[in-house]
Amino acid sequence: MSIVENKTFRLGVDIGGTFTDIVLLSESGQIHTKKLLSSPPDYSEAIEVGVRELLQDVGIAPGQITEFIHGTTIVTNTIIERKGEPIALVTTRGFRDVLELGRFRAPSLYDSSFRKLEPLAERRLRFEVTERVAADGTVLQPLNEDELEPIAQSLEEAGISSLAICFINAYSNGENEVLAARWLQQRLPHLSISTSSQLLPKIQEYERTSTTALNAYVRPVAERYIQSLQRRLTALGITCDLMIMQSAGGIVPGKVAAQNPVYIVESGPAAGVVGAQRLSGSLGVGNIMVVDVGGTTAKASLIEDGAFTIATESEVGGAAAMGHRLIQGAGYPVQAPTIDIAEVGAGGGSIAAVDQANGLKVGPRSAGAVPGPACYDRGGTAATVTDANLILGYISPSALVGGELSLNRGRAEAAINSIAEHLEMEQVTAAYGIHLIANSNMMRALNGVSSERGRDPSQYALFAIGGNGSVHGTKLADDLRMNTVIVPPASGVFSALGLLFADVEHQVIRTFYRHLHEVDPAVMTATLTAMVDEARRMLADGGFAEDRMDIRIVAEARYFGQMTTLPMTLASAEVTSDTVERCSTEFAESHLANYGYSSPHEKVQFVALKVLGRGLSDQPRVPKQLTIQRNYQAAEGRRPVYFGPDHGWLDTPVISRGNLTIEPRSGPVIVEEYESTSVVRPGWSVEVDPFSNIVMRRLAA
């Protein structure tokens, strides 16, 4: 098939920890991919290089690119590398230290060496002003503007260019914050100001201050990055809008994202989940669990009835933690809505080690990209999960990144043997044990999004992405009693593809702290109407006509005092007493479904209102079919593969993904492709579908 006949193309670019992944998608669904090393400190450089090469390889002109969508780790990188702008904070008198006091939670009970991250604004740059708002929004004390002049002078003296403003109870009424911002902006026209009530007006002063400070800290860096990337794209001749993926799964113009970087912390991982959601929707599969296994971590998320769950808070900058979604205190909290993704320190690079009582541990320490697993032959000697997978025959010594990276089996054996000797077991037993323990760590993430909420994984299909997702997929599915595993095309760079399936989406969020029986429908209607107007305005700014706007209204509710909320969908911004009554019934039903009980005589309370404005594109985001335009050919044949003590070593056929058909083929089979390998265990079959997904099914026993 020639590509010339396709007139327009879309580009998705995702920057991960080590690599920059690029996917080019034609109107008819042809996929071209490119993977190259990222280029810190200016990440836009690798993008320019990679895009230019890919366009040349495929032979199309930059003018044929109609969309450029980007998933970026700029926020996390800025935090981890401490490359943000020195910031100052203005807060309510009496609360100068909120940002540094934090929440007094340690991620580990017995590790007395733990220190939390230092505050983003140092104490001398945290200023108090006289003002006060009550919890119900009443202004108890107007802002004393006279106190702002000395603060402005201090900001000038300290050379501060980015400022955060966060007042107590401003989630309830941001009037004083806005006045302070306006005054300071007039006085210091070049100052970049992030104001909590405008950024994300949610309750909890430390979390909101942290969110606002983080925004101020990253914003100048994000703005420079987006400008630099825009310049490079323009230089390449790509003239379409630069769009960025947000943590909640919608895309927004680069300029909007750069001003509110707290919304794009989990940009890349969100793209993977959105991609999985949209693609499985096209397949008619509504319930899936997405597992994304990379080199250092495994991430899991749940899609139910075609929808993913949104968490209302996350953390950024903490060290990779083992299996605990509950740990608080390791990083900076961010109150931005984020696709609910559980993460554990388990991936291909996870290191296996024996403790003093002959216990075998895998991870969370990782060999990373440098030195990498022992078999990479770059100086690493520790046994890793990838070394075990090589010995077990799951991955080929020559199959990684289409053979561009070859693996040294001797090094892997030496590393695994040192573990095996220590534990007085066979090499293959040790290797298989490492594989299984890595799996059991990954299951903690999968459990985190399913069983924790009373879901039964066997009712879901497993959607395996990331370089190692399809290596571990069928065993994970076996252990979780799941019956189907889907490995999408370009699974090793899937987030870059997922970017292209997302819609433009704006979120407007307001705290609305009220018992249901105390709600004044007129007040709620007014609040929602204003929010809907704002969402519509943002969509209109992006060029969407009225009939291309999809508006959704969600009220987050809970029993009075609960920590987490359940979303109640409202049909319109017009609220009547009936609406409230319906919310009450729906809440009870939802609580029963989610947590196994409802509690009729407890009070139900609204906590926040959310309006999602989605811009509908003229073309479907997911093409009618997908094909991979890469002529990677595996060295087909057979090799011995180990499937545990029940099966032992089996002489297993190895085939290229391109040679799979819609005709199911029984395992064991190894399917190899450019960026990944699928292990089809005995008792499973494998086929491809019209979207070029590899579909593995458990055979009836």
Minimum distance of other proteins from residue 597's CB (angstroms): 5
Minimum distance of other proteins from residue 327's CB (angstroms): 7
What is the C-alpha separation between 515 and 605, in angstroms, rounded? 4
Site residues for other proteins, 665-694, by CB under 8 A, read none
Site residues for other proteins, 413-432, by CB under 8 A, read 423, 429, 432
Residues 317-336 as b/e (b if ≥16 CB within 10 A, e otherwise) read bbebbbbebebbbbbbbbbb
Among 8, 39, 42, 116, binds other proteins (CB under 8 A): 116
Among 10, 444, 506, 630, binds other proteins (CB under 8 A): 444
Minimum distance of other proteins from residue 319's CB (angstroms): 14
Minimum distance of other proteins from residue 290's CB (angstroms): 19
Q: In this complex, which beta carbon is closest to other proteins, that of residue 122 or of residue 687?
A: 122
Should residue 206 be labelled a site residue for other proteins when binding is judged by CB under 8 A?
Answer: yes
Which region, judged by CB under 8 A, interacts with other proteins, from 45-53, 181-189, 438-446, 490-498? 438-446
Among 41, 110, 146, 618, binds other proteins (CB under 8 A): 110
Q: Using DSSP, state whether 536 is helix, strand or coil.
A: helix
Should residue 103 be labelled a site residue for other proteins when binding is judged by CB under 8 A?
Answer: yes
What is the C-alpha separation between 116 and 521, in angstroms, rounded? 44
* 271-534-253-88 Cα dihedral, nearest 10 degrees: -90
Cβ-in-10-Å burial (0-12, 13-18, 19+) of 1 comes to exposed
Site residues for other proteins, 585-624, by CB under 8 A, read 595-597, 599, 601-603
What is the C-alpha separation between 626 and 694, in angstroms, rounded? 12
Cβ-in-10-Å burial (0-12, 13-18, 19+) of 357 comes to exposed
DSSP, res 245? E
Should residue 195 be labelled a site residue for other proteins when binding is judged by CB under 8 A?
Answer: no
Q: In this complex, which beta carbon is closest to other proteins, that of residue 109 or of residue 700?
A: 109
Q: In this complex, which beta carbon is closest to other proteins, that of residue 419 or of residue 535?
A: 419
Minimum distance of other proteins from residue 490's CB (angstroms): 31
Should residue 122 be labelled a site residue for other proteins when binding is judged by CB under 8 A?
Answer: yes
Q: In this complex, which beta carbon is closest to other proteins, that of residue 14 or of residue 131?
A: 131
* Structural tokens at position 314: 């996350």
Among 1, 56, 59, 124, binds other proteins (CB under 8 A): 124
Q: What share of the chain is helix, strand, coil (3-state, %, to 5)?
A: 35, 25, 40
Minimum distance of other proteins from residue 64's CB (angstroms): 48
Q: In this complex, which beta carbon is closest to other proteins, that of residue 206 or of residue 632?
A: 206
Q: Which long-range contacts (CB under 8 A, 24 or more apart) does 405-413 make?
A: 405/376, 407/375, 407/376, 407/377, 408/374, 408/375, 408/376, 408/377, 409/375, 411/374, 411/375, 411/376, 411/377, 411/381, 411/387, 412/373, 412/374, 412/375, 412/383, 412/386, 412/387, 412/388
Minimum distance of other proteins from residue 444's CB (angstroms): 5
Minimum distance of other proteins from residue 121's CB (angstroms): 11
Should residue 328 be labelled a site residue for other proteins when binding is judged by CB under 8 A?
Answer: yes
Name which of 581, 301, 689 is nearest 462 in CA terms: 301
Site residues for other proteins, 329-388, by CB under 8 A, read 329, 354-362
Q: Using DSSP, state whether 699 is helix, strand or coil.
A: coil
What would the x/- binding string for other proteins be over residues 24 to 43, using CB under 8 A? --------------------
What are residue 421's phi and psi, to 5 degrees? -65, -45
Among 163, 168, 216, 288, binds other proteins (CB under 8 A): 168
Q: In this complex, which beta carbon is closest to other proteins, that of residue 429 or of residue 484?
A: 429
What is the C-alpha separation between 342 and 445, in angstroms, rounded? 5
Minimum distance of other proteins from residue 132's CB (angstroms): 8
Minimum distance of other proteins from residue 482's CB (angstroms): 13
Q: In this complex, which beta carbon is closest to other proteins, that of residue 112 or of residue 631?
A: 112
What are residue 595's phi and psi, to 5 degrees? -125, 5
* CA-to-CA separations, 423 to 15, 359, 380, 411, 429, in angstroms, rounded: 40, 8, 21, 19, 10
Among 96, 255, 582, 639, binds other proteins (CB under 8 A): 96
Among 9, 19, 43, 95, binds other proteins (CB under 8 A): 95
What is the C-alpha separation between 640 and 650, in angstroms, rounded? 5
Should residue 452 be labelled a site residue for other proteins when binding is judged by CB under 8 A?
Answer: yes
Do residues 127 and 90 make contact, with C-beta atoms less than 8 angstroms apart? Answer: yes
Minimum distance of other proteins from residue 231's CB (angstroms): 39
Name which of 11, 18, 58 is nearest 35 in CA terms: 18
Site residues for other proteins, 505-564, by CB under 8 A, read 513, 559-564
Among 348, 433, 466, 667, binds other proteins (CB under 8 A): 433
Minimum distance of other proteins from residue 317's CB (angstroms): 16
Binding-site size for other proteins (CB under 8 A) equals 81
Do residues 341 and 362 make contact, with C-beta atoms less than 8 angstroms apart? Answer: no
Among 9, 43, 171, 587, binds other proteins (CB under 8 A): 171
Minimum distance of other proteins from residue 114's CB (angstroms): 6
Among 441, 507, 676, 693, binds other proteins (CB under 8 A): 441
Q: Spell out the residues 6+ positions from residue 496 whose beta carbon is closer than 8 angstroms to its own.
A: 12, 13, 14, 21, 22, 23, 33, 71, 271, 490
Do residues 685 and 696 make contact, with C-beta atoms less than 8 angstroms apart? Answer: yes
Among 63, 94, 150, 620, binds other proteins (CB under 8 A): 94
What would the x/- binding string for other proteins be over residues 465 to 494, using CB under 8 A? --------------x-x-------------
Name which of 625, 591, 620 is nearest 605 in CA terms: 591
What is the C-alpha separation between 485 and 478, in angstroms, rounded? 10
Distance from the first to the final alpha carbon of the chain: 41
What is the C-alpha separation between 335 and 608, in angstroms, rounded? 12
